[in-house]
Structure 1
Amino acid sequence: MPPERNADFVYYMEDVLDLYHEPYDENRPVVCFDESSKALRGHESEPLPAKPGAVARVGHRYERNGKERIHLATEPLTGWVNVEITERRRTIEFIDRMVELADDHYPDADCIRVVVDQLNTHNPAGFYQFFPPDQAQAYLDRFEFHYVPKKGSWLNMAEIELNVLKRQCLDRRIYHAATLRSEVAAWQEHRNAADRLIDWQFTTDDARIKLRRLYPIEINEDQQVLG
């Protein structure tokens, strides 16, 4: 959590919380985007399988095989999730993911509202690095970026899906990048078929009560509810 009385944190937090409680609009989808990584590691010696009276055993020593970056986008109000695996995490990978949202996943949307962390690579100006000005502006006209506050990544609902991915698919050693991609693709297919929506309950009114120490001007609970 940030220090007390942090106007910057409050500004970004309330912006995201208000966005989360807007009604579903297929022409203006809300998509949460976040990134993580997976270290590729293999067993130095073959694990011993489980047998009657003994659990499976895995050696502590392992072989390193680099690291892959995980880029996850999810639309909480529909349950849709998409994961891409890359070797690096730079501005160009972020722009590639945004272009995929615009061209492949939401080609008919009037505006794609994207919730992201305040990383230096999550910079909309990157469109001008990789596209001519008219094309960059055309893409930017279709996006609206909402940033979670620094030290407030818990406000990005993509973290929920990343945690599910890690728990259900990545909680073991994977040595080859190709294996990682196929396993994640299978998880993604299963996750999308399940239609599991994210029911976000925390509101701006809740924040003004439960996190009132963050607000520069002290307010009481009656003021919180009136907003």
Structure 2
Amino acid sequence: MAQGTRPEAVAKKTWCVPKLNDEFCERMEDVLEQYEKPLDPNEPVVCLDEQPYQRVDDARPPEPAAPGKIAKQDYEYRRCGTCSVFVAVEPKAGKRFVQAKRHRKRADFARFVRDLLKRYPDAERVHLVMDNLNTHNEKSLIETFGEEAARPMLERIVWHFTPKHASWLNMAEIEISAIQRQCLGRRLASLDKVQSELSHCSRDRNRKKIKINWTFHRKDAKRVFPELYRK
């Protein structure tokens, strides 16, 4: 797992303790199997997640820096509503795709997946790793585009879901954390401004081909969760 995070620590910090049952084991092993595959442009493994973001603006105009004078910003701010940041990352290729949307409804998810698939025109299948949000399914694409238009997209998608209350297995969370630190830790009032910052940040990270070094494998799962393997 990247950035020095140990799976044992993440599992213990989870607010909702996951049920360590057969379903947990099956889904965990399925996700970890995808991460252990070598890079394959024909069947890329892409992690997807979304995060709410609070848009805010300055309550009073900030004072810019000048010779002999530091920049000043009032601690008070004005709330401008929320939006959702959708992130998809292909960890081994160092590629990511990011969009800001007003909501995270079925249509928002469906359109993000449609745009994501366009970035892999030559891939036969795209393996999507995500959590169990009720919009993360075929129904979202069918309701948004209609069954006839959605079918070609669905035929290219292989769904892989993390266990319930174990979203730390989704590497998209690592990418979201990095993006938040790099470009979202400031006051952004409009959706366009949020998208502009996200686009600039993701282009820079793609240019540098920043990858995620995932070090938690199936053999580690047997050590961390021995109760799942006693059978």
TM-score (normalised: structure 1): 0.87
2:115 pairs with 1:100: yes
Q: What's 1:188 paired with?
A: 202
SS at match of 2:75: coil
**How many pairs does the alignment contain?**
216
2:91 pairs with 1:76: yes
Distance 1:113 1:21 in 2: 13
- Amino-acid identity (%): 36
Q: What's 1:23 paired with?
A: 38
Distance 2:99 2:75 in 1: 29
Counterparts in 2 of 1:3 and 1:135: CA distance versus 1, 3 Å: closer
Q: What's 2:5 paired with?
A: none
Q: 1:85 aligns with which of 80, 88, 100?
A: 100
Superposed structure 1 runs of 4+ greater than 6 Å apart? 50-55
SS at match of 2:104: coil
**Is contact 2:101-2:191 (8 Å) kept?**
no
Distance 1:115 1:54 in 2: 49
Counterparts in 2 of 1:45 and 1:203: CA distance versus 1, 3 Å: same
Shift of 1:114: 0.5
Counterparts in 2 of 1:52 and 1:153: CA distance versus 1, 3 Å: farther
Q: What's 2:3 paired with?
A: none
SS at match of 2:163: coil
Q: 1:205 aligns with which of 213, 216, 219?
A: 219
Q: Which amino acid aligns with 2:177?
A: N
Shift of 1:200: 1.0
Counterparts in 2 of 1:4 and 1:141: CA distance versus 1, 3 Å: closer
Distance 1:84 1:110 in 2: 24
Bigger drift between 135-144 and 159-168 goes to 135-144
Q: What's 1:128 paired with?
A: 142
Gaps of 5+ in 1: 220-227
Shift of 1:12: 1.1
Q: 1:66 aligns with which of 59, 68, 81?
A: 81
Gaps of 5+ in 2: 1-10, 12-16
Instruction: Output aligned runs, 1:22-61, within 5 Å.
Output: 22-47=37-62, 57-61=72-76
Q: What's 2:230 paired with?
A: 218
**Is contact 2:97-2:116 (8 Å) kept?**
no
What RMSD over aligned residues (CA atoms) do the two structures have, in Å?
2.1
SS at match of 1:77: coil
Bigger drift between 27-36 and 167-176 goes to 167-176
